[in-house]
Structure 1
Amino acid sequence: MKLLKMLLAATLVCCSFVASAAPDPATPLPLDPQIRSGKLANGLTYYIQQNRRPEKRVELRLVVKAGSVLEDEDQLGLAHFTEHMAFNGSTHFKRHELISWLQSVGVKFGADLNAYTSFDETVYMLPIPVDRKENLDKGLLVLEDWAQGVTFNDADIESERGIVLEELRLGKGATDRMNKVLLPKIFNGSLYARRLPIGKAEILKSFKPDAIRRFYKDWYRPDLMAVIVVGDIDPKEAERLVASHFSKLVNPANPRPRTYPTIPERKESEAIVVTDREAPSNLVTIRYPFTERSESKTIGEYRDHMVELLSAAMLSQRIAELSQQSNPPFLQGFSSMAKAVHDYQAFVSSAVVGKAGALPAIRAVVAEGERARQLGFSAAELERAKKNMMRFIENLYNERDKTESSAYVGEFTRHFLDGESMPGIENEYSYYKELLPGITLEEVNAQVRSAIPVGQKKLVIFMGNDKSGTVVPQATQMLATVEEAEKATMSAHEEKTLAANLMAQPPKAGRIVKETSDKLLGTTELLLSNGVKVVLKPTDFKNDQVLMTSTRFGGQSLVEEGDIVNARYATAILSSMGVGGYTPLELQKILAGRSVSSALAIGGVAEGYGGGSSSGDVETMLQLVYLQMTQPRRDQALFDVFIDKQQEQARNAQARPEAVLTDTVRTTMFGNHPRVSLTPRPEELDGIRLDRVMALQKERLSSAYGMTFFLVGSFDLAKIKPLIATYIGGLPAAKIATDYKDRHVRAVRGVVKKEVRRGREQKSQVSIAFAGEANFSVVEQMRLRALVEIMQIKATEALREQRGLVYTANISGGLALHPYANYSINIGLPTAPENVDKAIEATFAEIRKLQEKGPEEADLAKVKENWTSNYRKALRENGWWLVNLKLALVDKIDPRLLLRQNEMIASLTVADVQAAAKRYFDFNNYVQVVMHPAESKPEARPDAKPEGQADAGKLAD
């Protein structure tokens, strides 16, 4: 039930409906009639659905109920290793042939083609273009091979060891070190704590090939598998192909039983303190006992879950309010019933610790749950939650014929793995209209009383950075604080009365003084009486979506160097304080039931507003823009909260090795230029002044002079034009500077190499940056992009597949026109310390091949095919049009070129890419920074110090 999962992470809440006769609670939830599903004779489950969004594309999945918990002691890490081997040779595809064929039809490795392994399942993801009919058949052949045709050649296994070990190395760090202490406590001795999917290095290095073949034979079997086919297909033909490919799969003669580990009941409450000098944040968590989890099977159970979602949304809102008050007890917090592993859930409360410390954070997050448990919620809170919930389901219903295929495959996967119901959006919309109005405050309050644990055995955790200035709590203190908060008598939550609407009355309207149309692009341009331009593109890509952006030059480039920190943070600070008389959380309450957002930005060389809304909420979105420009809110308390939060994050960020590497690269490239953004320092934030931030808003964002707005989406031109005239035409437009200043931030010339030593793990990171001035054009941008993507293909082949030096090579780059025409190419190579020189040498060798011989025709064809496929999809996306219409204006490009992308892609040649390689990979001009680990090798030592009922564990620095 995709809706319910998404609602847990959404801000909930819309109009009430008159309830019709309530359905029988015992009625089983149906299966969406659009889904063609069944089981083959061998037990394999399949799901098929026709969906033409996007056109000529199909999403394929192979889902296997087999993950790391099924590994034997000599197989730790081999469930995940099996996933890797699926791409390294099978019955119908020799090693490298599979990826090469997929790339040739436009499927990008990593971005499109992918897989994952978890505790309980392995899922293979394959999107396939079906502009050629045979692609679907061959795509299902790929899944068939993954299911029971992986060859597991000894040589291929040996070759893949280095890649998997590099993936393991990549995941090492503070979080990994702390989890090794925490997971046995969290899972209370369950097998889950001993079966992390990545496995153990010693086994990955030494396992015998027969061990991985045994895992594959035992668990990759049709009775544990599902095949999912969603997209632009004929369902009957897809069902025929599924039967043709997968009926031949066989189950073992004596199958091993597929069971799920149990999590033992916690016998005693305990607390644990785990610190690491590289920890990214300070966090307190209270984990209550695991309980059995079940999915809704009847309409009554569906309704019960709606009640749970309402209470969870209201509790989340209250906890968010705590983080916005003066001297907040924590920076961010949450409390909810959270899904854990298969068939288990647990109530968890957590908070990011701020300057108040760990104990006040624990006290506040627990006490807020107690307040809800003891006194319940208010009628106003419930009404807002209902509005948001109803608006959410309405949006899904409105977009039911425009939903992307990728949204469905996750739902089918969860149905197979966990039994999640799939009644279909039409049924769910009907249930919400019928059931939601009848849910009472008494029901919600009763639910929250039963859901929030009190007096139960619990695990209290502090994990953080003891070098950041935070006072590390004692285990006994944490337990005592929780128990004290659970026993406290709470006062009622205070509700502030708010207006029903953002604006009492609209502003004085402007006029449309000129209107022109471009029929080819489908755009209409308006010139308003205040001089502001608006470009409108109505579309039918979505039924209920309108996107907006605006821009003009200026931004941070216009402030002097002594003011740059204020300008850099102005966007976030202004957003954190709300507009008019309302804080951001108060705005959420006023806007309950509406799908709307708006944001402002003061960027490096430009500034403007952006947002989005449903078709019916366009006016509200434009009201937000008007208020942000004319009534920015000054709130000293929220400003102080923002600065405290940023300083806490800055203190922790300084400890991260990655931050040191990034800063070293940037200072090496650009010197100590004050306009170069580095990892924030606490002392830097001390210099920000609220008065100056408000002055910057007045200087740069209180006038619409010189701005161009763009709106793309499902709107009617005749209906939206009066709103544009009123709210955008009514904006003040006093004359201000509308060009940027080039502050001459330039990359260093020549070859510069540096090394830094940071981090406790034995891993290195190579960063190589090529940058300089360039001639900008659309065609040249395309040539450089092609070069970067081909280089990504070759680096993956050479460094990963052939030599096992990296898990992934990260290559990015492009051209920019402002503040001056320039190019940049960035190469990131995470690798072992002993392999640094080899990785650099191999990368440079691939660059020289491109310069000397040019790319292979086949590689260029792969890139072009992927671009063509993506372009076909992008032409039906509001976001793509919004971004590219704006870029055409900013970069002074004819927007009609947006319709000629296929023509430009087709004209790209091997010679073009070779010339780009010679032009942009200049071996006399690059910056190379290598981060090596610190000299000392990490040792984990849990110091168990029983204190009453608590155990305190600490990870050594």
Structure 2
Amino acid sequence: MSFYQRFTCAVTVSLLLSLSQATALGTCQFSPSDSLRLTDTLPMDTGVIRGELPNGLVYYIRHNEEPKDRVVMYLATRVGSIVENENERGLAHFLEHMQFNGTRHFPKNELIDYLQRAGVRFGSDLNAYTSFDETVYQLPIPSDDPELLKNGLQVMRDWAQDALLDGEEIDKERGVVLNEMLGDRGAQQRMRDQYFPMILNHSRYAERLPIGTKEIIEGFDHETLRAFHRKWYRPELQALIIVGDIDVAVIEAQIKTLFSDLKNPADAPERSEYSIPLRGENQFMAVTDPEMTQTVVQIIVKHPETKVKTVNDYRTQLTKSLFNQMTSARFAELTRQADPPFIQGGGSIGGFLRGLDAFTMYVASKPGEVKLGFEAVVTEFERIKRHGFTATELERAKSNFVASIESAYAERDKRKSESYVDSYLNHFLEGENVLSNEYRYQLSKQLIGTIMLDEVNRIGRQYYVDHNRDVLIMAPDKDKDSLPDEKAVDSWFNTLKAKDIAPYDDNVQDEPLLEQQPQGGTVIKRVDRPDLGMVELTLSNGITVVLKPTDFKNDEIHFAAFSPGGTALYNEKDFLSATYAATIVGGSGLGPYDATQLMKFLSGKKVSVRPYIAERYEGFNASSGKKDLHTAFELIYAYFTVPRLDIDVFQGYMQRIKASLANRLDDPDAVFADTINAVLYNNNIRRTSMTVEQVDLINPERAYEIYKERFADASDFTVTVVGSFTEDEIVPLVLQYLGGLPAMNRKEEAPDLGIYPPEKGLQRTVYRGKEPKSSVRLYYFGNYDYSEDENLQMDALESILNIKLTERLREAESGVYGVSVNASYAKSPRYRYSFGIGYGTNPDMVEPLMTSAMNEINTIKQSGPTQTDIDKFVSEQRRVLEVQLRENGFWLGHLSGSYQNGEDPAYILKYLDELRKVTVESVKAVANKYLVEDHLFKFVLMPEAQ
């Protein structure tokens, strides 16, 4: 994945709100203690070993045991697209690709093959990215195999300087990169090409997108790429980051042995630093596209970047964080109005791009209401600028922050290795010291209380200014003539500056969530499962409670609950009301609190409860820290017994849904998805995307009735709780709040709605889109022999076919950037399966690649996979499960899913032994059984005729 994809996403959804950490600016009024001075330089974490070899290569090594027997290795090179000459545009990113296509010790595709056999997945584990200023490679591997650990270091050494860059491999990779480029083409990219020069102030960054240009990728000479590699991949520009369950001293010695012979070329060019100049002027641009579905306004006020070097810098960073948190709460409240002024809006202070910070405002406006949305967002920031925040807002923001840092500190010994990497990358790339867990916690706790309200308000005024301001409007083509010009927007700003704006009224309630505490129940049956470390309790009101205490985290508790029923119990007239019932109620508040007051009530608490109503089940998902476990149970009880319906929230939500759907069908991908669902499910309302007209079918009162019906009877609920609790701690809460829920002893089961694809496959082609690109979706559907063994074989087929199609369509034929293969199977209402294959490609390659995909499928059906492919699947499953068995989220899903399907959850304990049942013949058999040509559906999206 290249960095420009992630960068563009941030720009077009909510422009550059979080490209980098917020950094410090301004003065403060904090009087430091004798032991802490604001001018003190922030100390480097002593828990990481940092060294530098004589050739300039920097390394960071940290011992960390979460996850156990795992290590992550990163190689960062301070080289990205910004250093490219005109004839090299895209080569930094292309070179990133080539590192996986042959190195000295792993020629051709042997690297991927070797790591897959070790259980490392290409794409999800083994990956890399290219940015404007750096290229970073990642390799997470097991550390309990000395040979694998040794070879992992060898991979990093090869990536540092030993790419083979074989001519044949280079030419094959051109198609892969061109397909990556093609996949990004669309409304967002076409508009980005127009506005990037403006928002990047016509700097070199505007001319050096990492993906490069089609002309260069198609035509560069092999030697040009090799020369680029020789001059830039050198140790003085590189850093090695290794974090995991390793012996630090051994790894350091191996690094010195393996990497010290890296050479810096004598004629190496200087690595120049580039920046985006601030011109002190304001800029404006409106861009449109026929496939843009919403009108979005971005207001970007740029400022020089200030790095976090001192205690004072860190304190100001905290101040910005508080500002952003309070701003977010203000805009969340605005969206709950009966007639919200926009679909989405907000703003924050954050990083922009190397050398700059920015204050960014954004609004996604309702159709034809650009001015209204613009005025709402700017008015709120004018209100903040003039009147500031209130003391109670700041108190809540501080409370939330303290809860966050306390939770993070509680987990310091369970922190994942991966989470350390970004801070070490930032130290290497930006020079900002990495704080230890202990120092960050103590410093944050000491500083947060000293930040005064006027300081937070001053931060807003420092960043919200009238120079170095860009206004960017992105809109559908059909709205082009109605968009404002620069003069109009300037007049809007001037009018709002002169407008009388009242201060914010922070109305705060303070009353119990529950008027009366529930009368608890009792345990009428107990089943201990020491093999699974869990206990199953049946309560006097019928609820089944599954408890699994763990030590995987110190402050993490997860809940999942389900009950048979769901939207399937309701006819098509009520279907949409039932579908949105939990969302409407969940957004309306609870008990005595409306939604805004509930958020204020929960400030400083690590707790979340979300009810849901799905097609065949209703229930809730929740999470909590240990300190707030009581509150979590109160919220669960309240969602059953004192839900609310807020008509203003409902009306506002429906308005925003309508506005977001207004131009949805201008998006080719949306039309393609709708066509697939229409063909497969005969336009059934339960399987189609909602239209603007259908929004009016949602009845708030009926939705509220349905919600109360679904949660009126707790007797058939199964509640699973996994995490950092003891049985003694949680059972009293279980008995009082779950045992106290109402029970009607209904016997419900979701009916079979009979919504299935046709028995016989077919092919449909959709012609939409301006770009010369296509999407292909292949599906098999049918009845299924559901069993643990059958599921295992189907999972193996999915994994193996994903490998084979990637090898064939990407590596051999250079026709795609990526392939997705997904198998799913269900036990209810019928035993059914689906098997899907998807990829994007050039329109000219649709038929040849489809033929190749079918060839790979038929090869498995005729001959079965190779034993090597079986070994890769088994190794991957083994390594993945080793980590999953130490994760609360995995156990929550496994236990809850097992109870939902009426299966023994102990199956997971023998899963590794069951892997021996996966053989060449077993996978061949399951492929022949389910990948049946008569059940194949082919869907193709082709561009419109020009």
What TM-score bracket applies, with the shorter chain setting the length? over 0.9
8 A contact 1:517–1:525 mirrored in 2: yes
**Between 828-837 and 729-738, the greater mean CA deviation after superposition:** 729-738
Deviation at 1:115, TM superposition (A): 0.5
Task: Name the residue aligned to 1:48.
Answer: 61
Deviation at 1:354, TM superposition (A): 2.1
Q: How does 1:6-45 map to 2 (within 5 A)?
A: 23-45=36-58
- Alignment equivalent of 1:888, drawn from 892, 898, 913: 898
- Alignment equivalent of 1:175, drawn from 163, 168, 188: 188
Letter in 2 for 1:729: G
Secondary structure at 1:598's aligned position in 2? strand
Task: Name the residue aligned to 1:658.
Answer: 669
Secondary structure at 1:514's aligned position in 2? strand
Letter in 2 for 1:353: S
Secondary structure at 2:771's aligned position in 1? coil
Letter in 2 for 1:342: R
Task: Name the residue aligned to 2:198.
Answer: 185
CA-to-partner distance for each residue in 1:646-692, whole Å, 9 max, x for gaps? Answer: 1122223222111111121122222223322x222111112111011
8 A contact 1:551–1:607 mirrored in 2: yes
Q: Are 2:439 and 1:427 aligned?
A: yes
Task: Name the residue aligned to 1:387.
Answer: 399
Deviation at 1:408, TM superposition (A): 1.0
8 A contact 1:357–1:471 mirrored in 2: no
Task: Name the residue aligned to 2:215.
Answer: 202
8 A contact 1:871–1:901 mirrored in 2: no
Q: Are 2:113 and 1:100 aligned?
A: yes
Q: Are 2:73 and 1:63 aligned?
A: no
**Between 861-870 and 570-579, the greater mean CA deviation after superposition:** 570-579
Q: Are 2:535 and 1:524 aligned?
A: yes
Secondary structure at 2:720's aligned position in 1? strand
8 A contact 1:266–1:458 mirrored in 2: no
Secondary structure at 1:776's aligned position in 2? coil
Q: How does 1:296-445 map to 2 (within 5 A)?
A: 296-355=308-367, 357-445=369-457
Q: Are 2:566 and 1:559 aligned?
A: no
Distance change (3 Å), C-alpha of 1:310 and 1:470: farther
Deviation at 1:7, TM superposition (A): 11
Secondary structure at 1:731's aligned position in 2? coil
Q: Distance in 2 between matches of 1:878 and 1:366?
A: 43
Deviation at 1:76, TM superposition (A): 0.9
Q: Are 2:643 and 1:626 aligned?
A: no
Task: Name the residue aligned to 1:483.
Answer: 494
Q: Distance in 2 between matches of 1:418 and 1:309?
A: 20
Q: Distance in 2 between matches of 1:531 and 1:613?
A: 24
Q: How does 1:446-461 map to 2 (within 5 A)?
A: 446-453=458-465, 455-461=466-472
Secondary structure at 1:795's aligned position in 2? helix
Deviation at 1:370, TM superposition (A): 1.8
Task: Name the residue aligned to 1:698.
Answer: 708
Q: Distance in 1 between matches of 2:243 and 2:293?
A: 39
Letter in 1 for 2:174: R
Q: Are 2:815 and 1:802 aligned?
A: no
Deviation at 1:574, TM superposition (A): 2.2
Letter in 2 for 1:691: E
- Alignment equivalent of 2:914, drawn from 904, 911, 926: 904
Distance change (3 Å), C-alpha of 1:348 and 1:130: same
Task: Name the residue aligned to 2:11.
Answer: none
Q: Are 2:581 and 1:575 aligned?
A: no
Secondary structure at 1:255's aligned position in 2? coil
CA-to-partner distance for each residue in 1:872-917, whole Å, 9 max, x for gaps? Answer: 1011110111100011111111111121111112332111111111
Q: How does 1:239-318 map to 2 (within 5 A)?
A: 239-288=252-301, 290-318=302-330
**Between 689-698 and 489-498, the greater mean CA deviation after superposition:** 489-498
Letter in 1 for 2:862: E
Q: Distance in 1 between matches of 2:761 and 2:140?
A: 42
Deviation at 1:162, TM superposition (A): 0.7
Q: Distance in 1 between matches of 2:275 and 2:213?
A: 22
CA-to-partner distance for each residue in 1:498-533, whole Å, 9 max, x for gaps? Answer: 126533552222222333311111111222221111
Letter in 1 for 2:941: M
- Alignment equivalent of 1:841, drawn from 851, 873, 886: 851
8 A contact 1:553–1:740 mirrored in 2: yes
Deviation at 1:143, TM superposition (A): 1.0
Deviation at 1:484, TM superposition (A): 2.6
Letter in 2 for 1:148: Q
Task: Name the residue aligned to 2:5.
Answer: none
Deviation at 1:488, TM superposition (A): 3.4
> Which structure 1 segments of 5+ residues have no match?
10-18, 937-957
Distance change (3 Å), C-alpha of 1:602 and 1:6: farther
Deviation at 1:5, TM superposition (A): 8.1
Task: Name the residue aligned to 1:950.
Answer: none
Q: Distance in 2 between matches of 1:475 and 1:847?
A: 57
Task: Name the residue aligned to 1:934.
Answer: 944
Q: Distance in 1 between matches of 2:779 and 2:661?
A: 26
What is the TM-score with the length of structure 1 in the denominator? 0.94
Q: Distance in 2 between matches of 1:481 and 1:702?
A: 51
Distance change (3 Å), C-alpha of 1:501 and 1:595: farther
Distance change (3 Å), C-alpha of 1:887 and 1:106: same
Task: Name the residue aligned to 1:145.
Answer: 158
Distance change (3 Å), C-alpha of 1:264 and 1:459: same
8 A contact 1:578–1:633 mirrored in 2: yes
Task: Name the residue aligned to 1:670.
Answer: 681
Q: How does 1:679-690 map to 2 (within 5 A)?
A: 679-690=689-700
**Between 704-713 and 301-310, the greater mean CA deviation after superposition:** 301-310
Q: Distance in 2 between matches of 1:543 and 1:6?
A: 30
CA RMSD of aligned residues (A): 1.9
What is the TM-score with the length of structure 2 in the denominator? 0.95
8 A contact 1:311–1:444 mirrored in 2: yes
Distance change (3 Å), C-alpha of 1:477 and 1:6: closer
8 A contact 1:329–1:356 mirrored in 2: no
Task: Name the residue aligned to 1:822.
Answer: 832
Number of residue pairs matched by the alignment = 922
Q: Distance in 1 between matches of 2:666 and 2:152?
A: 46
Q: Distance in 1 between matches of 2:934 and 2:390?
A: 68
Q: Distance in 2 between matches of 1:316 and 1:260?
A: 35
Identity percentage over the alignment? 37
CA-to-partner distance for each residue in 1:529-572, whole Å, 9 max, x for gaps? Answer: 21111111100000000000111211111111222122222232
Q: Distance in 2 between matches of 1:762 and 1:770?
A: 27
CA-to-partner distance for each residue in 1:355-387, whole Å, 9 max, x for gaps? Answer: 571112212212212211211111111111111
8 A contact 2:513–2:592 mirrored in 1: no
Secondary structure at 1:654's aligned position in 2? helix
Task: Name the residue aligned to 2:9.
Answer: none
Deviation at 1:67, TM superposition (A): 0.7
8 A contact 1:340–1:346 mirrored in 2: yes
8 A contact 2:19–2:352 mirrored in 1: no
Letter in 1 for 2:111: L
Deviation at 1:583, TM superposition (A): 3.2
8 A contact 1:576–1:642 mirrored in 2: no
8 A contact 1:336–1:347 mirrored in 2: yes
Secondary structure at 2:67's aligned position in 1? coil
Deviation at 1:631, TM superposition (A): 1.5
Q: Distance in 1 between matches of 2:899 and 2:481?
A: 48
Task: Name the residue aligned to 2:96.
Answer: 83
CA-to-partner distance for each residue in 1:50-102, whole Å, 9 max, x for gaps? Answer: 11111111101001111111110001111100000001111111101000000
Q: Distance in 2 between matches of 1:467 and 1:582?
A: 43
8 A contact 1:854–1:910 mirrored in 2: yes
Task: Name the residue aligned to 2:795.
Answer: 785
Q: Are 2:765 and 1:755 aligned?
A: yes
Letter in 1 for 2:326: M
Letter in 2 for 1:498: Q
**Stretches (4+) displaced over 4 A:** 4-9, 19-22, 466-471
8 A contact 1:53–1:404 mirrored in 2: yes
Secondary structure at 2:449's aligned position in 1? helix
Secondary structure at 2:270's aligned position in 1? coil
